[in-house]
Structure 1
Amino acid sequence: MKRELELYLHIPFCVRKCNYCDFFSASGTKEELNAYVQALCKEINRYKDFAKEYIVKTVFLGGGTPSLLTADQMKLIFENLNQIFTIDPVAEITMEMNPGTVNIEKLRSYKQAGINRVSIGLQSTENKELKMLGRIHTYEDFLNTWEAVEQVGFKNRNIDLMSALPGQTLKSWENTLRKILTLNPEHISAYSLILEEGTNFYEWYCKGQFDAGDWKLPSEDDEYTMGEMTIQMLESCGMHRYEISNYAYPGKECRHNLGYWDRVEYLGIGAGAASLISIQNKNTSEIQEQIRFNHVKNRDKYIQTINQKQAIEIEHEYLTLENQMEEFMYLGLRKTAGISKNKFHKFFGKEIGEVYGNIIKRLEEDELIISKEDNLMLTHRGMDISNYVLSEFLLS
């Protein structure tokens, strides 16, 4: 029986780097993007033997801005994917896109190539906030993109939103949520801003630019209130919170991200992409060990290395049993449904209490986690301080 696999394709190109973004991406010429796509297809063809063991359940094109790809480039990528991999006929195939980078013709070609889920990076409906973020679009640009997405007939649509922005108020965040809910998207990802080192925002924060005036960061109390407002408003419309920052109507949860949190094997394709692959005993089909590796994080070097038929994998890490247990806990507990104690025993041959008994007892006493039959999950309060709670499950 073939094993399940997720594919992630990284497109590290964007029109302009946003002020908060620390992802591996940058602007580039049409020629550079075309050379990258050609190298990407060559990499895909490297996996001919590897792919025989798997059936692909989800595909995700992220970036960067994958919607910078032309119709012909997208068609070429999927022609190569379908030649090499067995892709489930009902696979979830997601592409990230930015408002203003697509039109109806391009969207139709994407859908024809195989895309059946779109994730649109809006962040805010307030143009003042979008400008401050360094986004290339306005709210009106987003509405035009949304109308095109609807006309083409996509039925599985995510909108990315961001709270706790410099200068953002409770009222402006409420306005963003209300406007988006009138559009009735199937899925909403609502993240709180994190000031990542190496970004413009981080540099400006260190210089005190966010301390006062129009760029003042919301208080901790206001940030908390924004989070509670998000939960209440989305749940009142029938969207349930299935992960710390993700909400969906029943059946519209992002299957690709659920796979990450459940530690399904995934293969990253492209510069800077990461992978998690299990090495299986051919006689017993049991997992012997797991390996995590990344690809070279430089577009020019990636293209050159692919064209020279050399290895692009770097930073190999063989996961110990302890590593795997840690990931099972701190990734799985991101889901509101939590983790299964029986699955823990099945995967690792130990009862969860043998490994985490004292930690679980203490966190239960602090009302940060709760057990419900087979499941162990974060409480509402545990979700609020999830970084602390999840870090308690690190064994080393």
Structure 2
Amino acid sequence: MKQELEIYIHIPFCVQKCAYCDFLSGPAGKEEQEAYVRALRREISVASKMAEEYEVSTVFLGGGTPSILPPEAVDGILRTVRESFSLSPNAEITMELNPGTDGKEKMEAYRKAGINRLSIGLQSANDQELHTLGRIHTWQDFRNTYEAARKAGFVNINIDLMSAIPGQTLKSYEKTLERVCSLCPEHISAYSLILEEGTLFWNWYEKTDHPKDHPPLPDEETERQMYERTKEILQGYGYERYEISNYAKKGKECRHNIGYWRRIPYLGFGVGAASLFEEQRWSNLRDRKKYVETWSENEPKEALLLTREEVQKLSGREAQEETMFLGLRMMEGVSEAEFAARFHHTVEEIYGDEIRELEQEHLIQRKQGRIALTDRGIDVSNHVMACFLQDEGEEESS
């Protein structure tokens, strides 16, 4: 029986950079896009030789804005995946899509190409908030996109939402949640805005104590209320929280993301894409021009090696740490039996002191052979996960 493998494909193009975005993306012309897709398909084909004993269970096209590509380019990329890898017949194949870069014809073409799940970047149902974010679409544009997706036959759709947007109020955020829930998407991802260095928002709100001509950020109390209302409103509409920031109708959880939190091996293709394969991590080149040149000017095997950066062979302790802090993101938590089977040590042997302390603080709970965050633990999840990271100089366990 073949081992499970996931694939991530990075499309680094977008119409314009949003004010909050620090992702590896930006505008590009037709010729640059075509050259990138050729290099991408070549990388996928060459890298497949290392995964002949694996079967691909999920494929995720992220960005950037993958829907900026013409449908024939998306079809070509997925055709290369099918030709190069053993793809499961029921593989989840997701593509991120932004309103304003799509249409009815594109939707139908995506379906024919094999896309069976869409992730639509809405962020807010308030047009003023969308403008502040630097989005190129309106709420009505999103509605048109969503309806076109349904008419094309998509029955598994995620909608991305954002809270703590400059100028956003608790009332406007609640209205966004209500509007989106009324459409009955299968999945909703709800994230709080983070000011990332190098973004417009960082320059506006972190480089000065008194931002001028920009709407204020919600205060800490309002942000906390938004966080609480997300859970209350979504659960009221039948969405189950299965990960800190993700909610789904029963059976519609994102399989690709769950695989990431469970440390299923994955290969990332394209600029900046990360991989975890046979307990080794690496990232690809982050320079688009250099990435394309590497694949056009070198022999396949050499290009594959030149594409990779930050190659790291994980130690046993590092793999254990990842298992804990990634697994704890899910509401079901970490399986003690799976941990012991993978590492030949029980969780108690490795993290007994940490677990007892966190239990006493009512931040985690052990139930039916699993270790999971409590409601209180979810609120301070970063603190909990940090408890499972090895202190510098601490002796490593095998």
Superposition TM-score tier, normalisation by shorter sequence = over 0.9
Q: Deviations over 1:298-357 (max 9, x none)?
A: 111000001123221111001001100100000000001100111111111111111111
- Per-residue deviation, residues 249-280 of structure 1 (Å, max 9, x unmatched): 110000000000000000001111110001xx
1:380 lines up with 2:367 in the alignment: no
Give the aligned partner of residue 314 of structure 1: 309
CA contact (8 A) 1:266 1:275 kept: yes
C-alpha displacement of 1:49 = 2.0
Query: What is aligned with 2:285?
Result: 296
Shift of 1:209: 6.8
Maintained 8 Å contact 1:345/1:351: yes
**Partners of 1:102 and 1:174 in 2: CA distance:** 27
Which stretch of structure 1 is more off in the superposition, 318-327 or 44-53? 44-53
Distance in structure 2 (CA, Å) of the matches to 1:68 and 1:80:
19
Q: Cα gap change, 1:14/1:213 in structure 2, threshold over 3 Å: closer, same or farther? A: closer
In 1, Cα distance between equivalents of 2:166 and 2:78: 40
Q: Distance in 1 between matches of 2:214 and 2:10?
A: 35
User: Equivalences for 1:105-120 in 2 at 5 Å?
Assistant: 105-120=105-120
The answer (yes or no) to whether the contact 1:166–1:210 under 8 Å persists in 2 is no
- Matches for 1:1-396 after TM superposition, within 5 Å: 1-208=1-208, 215-278=215-278, 290-309=279-298, 310=303, 311-396=306-391
After TM superposition, where is structure 1 displaced by more than 2 Å over at least 4 residues in a row? 207-214
What letter is aligned with 1:102?
D
Residue 212 of structure 1 deviates from its aligned partner by 8.3
Count of residues paired in the alignment: 385
Cα contact 2:267–2:277 (8 A) shared by 1 = yes
Which stretch has the larger CA shift, 121-130 or 210-219?
210-219
Alignment deviations for residues 53-108 of structure 1 (CA, whole Å, 9 cap, x no partner): 11000000000000011011112112211111111010000000000101011111
Structure 1 unmatched ranges of 5 or more: 279-289
Structure 2 vs 1, CA of residues 210 and 67 (structure 1 numbering), >3 Å: closer, same or farther?
A: farther
Equivalent pair of 2:204/2:211 in contact (CA under 8 Å): no
Structure 2: gaps of 5 or more residues:
392-398
Give the TM-score, by structure 2 length. Answer: 0.95
CA distance in 2, matches of 1:360, 1:185: 37
Alignment RMSD (CA, Å): 1.2
- C-alpha displacement at 1:214, in angstroms? 6.2
CA contact (8 A) 1:210 1:216 kept: no
1:222 Cα deviation after fit: 1.1
Cα separation, 1, equivalents of 2:47 and 2:12:
21
Encode CA deviations 1:93-134: one digit per residue, 9 max, x unaligned: 000000010101111111101100000000000011000001
TM-score normalised according to structure 1 size = 0.95
Instruction: Encode CA deviations 1:149-205: one digit per residue, 9 max, x unaligned.
Output: 011010000000000111110100000001001100000000001111111111111
